[in-house]
Amino acid sequence: MQLHTDRILFGGDYNPEQWPEEVWEEDMRLFHLAHISEVTLNVFSWALLQPSEDTYDFHELDRIMELARREHLKVILATSTAAQPAWMSARHPQTNRTDAHEQQHHFGGRQNICPTSPIFRHFAGRLVEKLAARYAGFDNLVAYHLSNEYGGYCYCEHCQAAYRDWLRRRYGTIENLNRAWNTTFWGHRFYDFSEIRIPDYLTEEFDYGTAGALRTNVQANSIDYRRFMTDCTIDLVEMEKTAIRKYSDLPITTNLMYNFDGYDLAKIARHLDFVSWDSYPAYGDAASNTALWHDLMRGIGGGQSFSLMEQTPSVTNWHPYCRLKRPGIMRLGSYQAVAHGADTVLFFQLRRSRGACEKYHGALIDHVGNEHTRVFQEMTELGAELEKLGGTLLAAKSRARAAILFDWDSWWGTALSAGPSVLISYLEEIQTWYRALWQLHIPVDLLPVDAVLGNPDREVSAIRDPQAENPEGAAALAAYDLVFAPMLYLDKNGFSDALHRYVAQGGHFVTSYFSGYADDTDLVRLGGYPASWKDLLGVWVEESDALPPDVENHFSYNGVRHACHILCDLMHPLDDTVEILGAYEEDFYRNMPVVTRHPFGKGACWYVGTRSDEAFYRAFVSDVCRESGIAPLAEAPLEVEVTRRENENGVFLFLLNHSDAPQELALPVGGTDLLTGTSYRKGETLHLAPAQVVILSQQDK
């Protein structure tokens, strides 16, 4: 199910309950000036809605909902369960979260809940049901928004017991668990599930090194715990959905937060009608990193449009240096979201609050309280443009022929790994490969590994048969001519079979160091890394040398010398069909391969055994794309972002200048810019001012 609107919604979090009613009327005047079409209501109102255990008070929310209806504003209604009322925390301390030091918290903050607490669930479910029943008749309601940025873990005794039950369901017997976790190590053998505790600071986990990275003694336990917490969050999602579904068929979402690595968002997304997320790039962040998150959100939503639920109009309050978004940057970021598949451009927040920690967070209406601000003017201009665009771009799809696989389990596995290097970073590895595709203007889908592993959903958690054949997984891969799997550390059961079928039938596969090492529970797959993919890659890795930050090795690719960082795999070709595209130039492993290509069946596989520099990835990715028959959308400067989207209204080429300088390019197609009405011929030079956006409605589909 999708969000149904007839235009790109423009609005965001609105908290009139923080203000006297006179202010509401002024808000409405200002909203209309700014072309606001949507308000996200009730995000943190539980304490107002329920003054005590047995009393509810909806009269203020009724008035706010009426106001929105009167003003023809679409409403996304939040369930407000991200922060329980203080009375609940005090009377039922077990609803409060217990931290990794096994300290139970008191009232305070938000997402301070125990996800397995039956009392919390009881009250939350009851509240959501009342909300859904009460506002079912509001025809300006377009979606429900569960909680707010689900996040964090709980370590209370209730969660401990729930975790043991979860493990029992996953492993069946304690012997299976002992085997999967390799518990003979350090005398960890369990004889009963009741002996197991959640990994935390009193058990298996500890901070490591000056950067305070989290480490664990038993990776399998720590990874399972994260899967368990994901499932607990899914239970909360399902609990609220069930309550809503008694009264409403409207689409349901929750705002996911970028860089949150705590839960497997791909699994949670399967339980949402549409995906939405909050984008908060800091000043100076690479535009390609934001693009990556947009694509990942589209990917976990199965390729459907997603919703940009929050971004700041100007500043956050929580970046170390809250630099202003420069003129034009808020607009640029908004169109970037649309360029990647967003059907809404929403903000946190519409009116800046007066007190507490977000009072200096950007908003449409600032503390000065009127429309005469830079931010208000910029928002107004964007609001007018989006109103004019109407529904033209809605539900437009990307038709990428390249994919990057993304796997939260591998993110956890690499982050928690003791060795080979503290510099190993899953996200940075993904960003590195993504950036090359972005700079080359080659569209890519971020494909969750779950999509290749059938329908794991909650059974993920159950271990699949290692021998299972997976032709459906191969079909999911076969939607692409080229699949990248950077640092896909866990080679989960079923994946290798799908991969073999895909490549044998003509697929192209690229992977990098620290990939395919271990199985679902982080047991190393034996026989030389990456054991199950050796025949595909035509190489096996014997050792890996971690390079401290000040040490480099080098190799040449196509006659150009590139640097090696982080890790150097020492690998051996398995046969003479392996092409060595680059070899180390220094150290005792000089002349050993670092970049290879190997034909397999009708397809081919590439392996890059190190982290190199940007220029290498551009050269290399460009070559493998060419060999896979994938052409760039345009020949354009590096900092001009190019995406293509299509729907029944046409084919649209987005061109966004992310640099501070004017840029130009020869247009690959002719068409009309939806924003200015200017028509361009194919081959004509397009001049893009800094932060300029062109959305070309293509002549030739």
Give catalytic residue positions: 149, 310
Q: Compare residues 3 and 346 and give the one whose CB is closer to ligand GLA.
A: 346
Nearest 5°: phi and psi at 665?
-155, 160
Q: Which does 376 bind (CB under 5 to 8 A by kind): Zn ion, ligand GLA, none?
A: none
Nearest distance in Å: CB 338, ligand GLA = 20
Strands 252-253 and 141-145: parallel
Helix (H) / strand (E) containing 524: none
Nearer to ligand GLA, 148 or 160 (CB): 148
- Report the partner that residue 382 touches, choosing among ligand GLA, Zn ion, none (CB closer than 5 to 8 A by kind): none
The site partner of 81 among Zn ion, ligand GLA, none (C-beta below 5 to 8 Å per kind) is: none
Name the residue among 586, 611, 210 with its Cα closest to residue 414: 611
Q: Which residues contact 359 (CB under 8 A, 6 or more apart)?
A: 317, 352, 353, 367
The angle subtended at Cα 632 by Cα 610 and Cα 563, nearest 5°, is 20
- Nearer to ligand GLA by Cβ, of 255 and 432: the residue is 255
- 653 interface partner picked from ligand GLA, Zn ion, none, CB below 5 to 8 A per type: none
Task: Output the smallest distance, CB 357 to ligand GLA, in A.
Answer: 8
- 511 makes contact, choosing from Zn ion, ligand GLA, none, with CB < 5 to 8 Å by partner type, with none
CB count within 10 Å of CB 359 equals 12
The nearer residue to Zn ion, 156 or 686, going by C-beta atoms, is 156
* Percentages of the chain per state (helix, strand, coil), in multiples of 5: 35, 25, 45
The item of Zn ion, ligand GLA, none sharing an interface with residue 680, based on CB under 5 to 8 Å by kind, is: none
Tokens describing residue 618:
């551009």
Q: Is 116 exposed, middle or buried (0-12, 13-18, 19+ CB in 10 A)?
A: buried
The reply to whether omega before 18 is within 30° of 0 (cis) is no
Contact 87, 48 (CB under 8 A): no
**Complex with Zn ion: residue 154 or 309, whichever CB lies closer:** 154
Nearer to ligand GLA, 108 or 172 (CB): 108
Q: 310 or 378, CB closer to ligand GLA?
A: 310
Cα 266–Cα 461–Cα 105 angle in degrees, nearest 5: 75
Q: CA 621 → CA 141, 438, 483, distances in Å?
A: 45, 11, 11
- What tokens appear for 57 in the block? 């008070």
Binding-site ranges for ligand GLA (CB under 6 A): 148-149, 255, 257, 278, 280, 310, 316, 348, 358, 361
Angle at 476 between CA 474 and CA 479, to 5 degrees: 105
Residue 76: CB minimum distance to ligand GLA, A? 13
Q: What is the bridge-based pairing of β-strands 402-406 and 482-485?
A: parallel
In angstroms, what is the minimal distance from the CB of 334 to Zn ion?
38
Residue with CB nearest ligand GLA?
278
78 vs 218, beta carbon nearer ligand GLA = 78
Cβ of residue 272: shortest distance to ligand GLA, in angstroms? Answer: 16
What beta strand segments (E) does 154-298 contain? Answer: 205-208, 213-216, 252-253, 255-257, 276-278
Q: Please, which residue, 159 or 291, has the CB nearer to Zn ion?
A: 159
State the nearest-atom distance from the C-beta of 156 to Zn ion, in Å. 3
Q: Are the beta carbons of 291 and 433 closer than 8 angstroms?
A: no
Residue 559, number of CB atoms within 10 A of its CB: 6
- Residue 295 binding partner per list Zn ion, ligand GLA, none, with a CB distance cut-off of 5 to 8 Å that depends on partner kind: none
Distance of CA 86 to the CA centre of its chain: 32
User: To the nearest 10°, the Cα dihedral for 230, 180, 215, 280?
Assistant: -30
With b meaning 16 or more CB within 10 Å and e meaning fewer, what string describes 234-253? bbbbebbbebbeebbebbbb
Binding-site partner at residue 154 among Zn ion, ligand GLA, none, CB < 5 to 8 Å by type: Zn ion
How many C-beta atoms surround the C-beta of residue 130 within 10 A? 16
- Please give the Cα distance from 313 to 563 (Å, whole number): 39
Dist. CA 646–CA 331, nearest whole Å: 21
Nearer to Zn ion, 114 or 167 (CB): 114
Which residues form the interface with Zn ion (CB under 5 A)?
A: 114, 154, 156, 158-159
Q: Rounded to whole angstroms, how far apart are CA atoms 192 and 610?
A: 43
Distance of closest approach, residue 319 Cβ to ligand GLA, in angstroms = 9
Candidates 254, 301, 269, 314; CA nearest to 76 is 254
Token reading at 218: 């038993």
Helix (H, G, I), strand (E, B) or coil at 141: strand
Least Å from the CB of residue 501 to Zn ion: 42
Do residues 346 and 11 make contact, with C-beta atoms less than 8 angstroms apart? yes
Neighbouring-strand partners of residue 610: 568
Shortest distance, position 125 Cβ to Zn ion, whole Å: 17
Other beta carbons less than 10 A from residue 162's beta carbon: 21
| Interacting partner of 177 out of ligand GLA, Zn ion, none (Cβ under 5 to 8 A depending on kind) | none
> Within 10 A of 375 (CB to CB), how many other CB atoms are there?
21
Give least dist CB 315 to ligand GLA, A. Answer: 9
Q: CA 475 to CA 479: how far, in whole Å?
A: 7
* Smallest separation, CB 514 to Zn ion (Å): 33
Q: Own/partner pairs for 568-571, CB < 8 Å, 24+ apart?
A: 568/544, 568/594, 568/609, 568/610, 569/513, 569/541, 569/543, 569/544, 569/594, 569/609, 569/610, 570/541, 570/542, 570/543, 570/544, 570/545, 571/539, 571/540, 571/541, 571/542, 571/596, 571/607, 571/609
Nearer to ligand GLA, 79 or 697 (CB): 79
Indicate which of Zn ion, ligand GLA, none lies near residue 159 (CB less than 5 to 8 Å, by partner kind).
Answer: Zn ion
Q: What is the smallest separation between the CB atom of 278 and ligand GLA, expressed in angstroms?
A: 4
Contacted entry of ligand GLA, Zn ion, none for residue 278, CB cut-off 5 to 8 Å set by kind: ligand GLA
> Could you tell me which of 439, 444, 443, 407 has the C-alpha nearest to residue 426?
407
Residue with Cβ nearer ligand GLA (116 or 276): 276
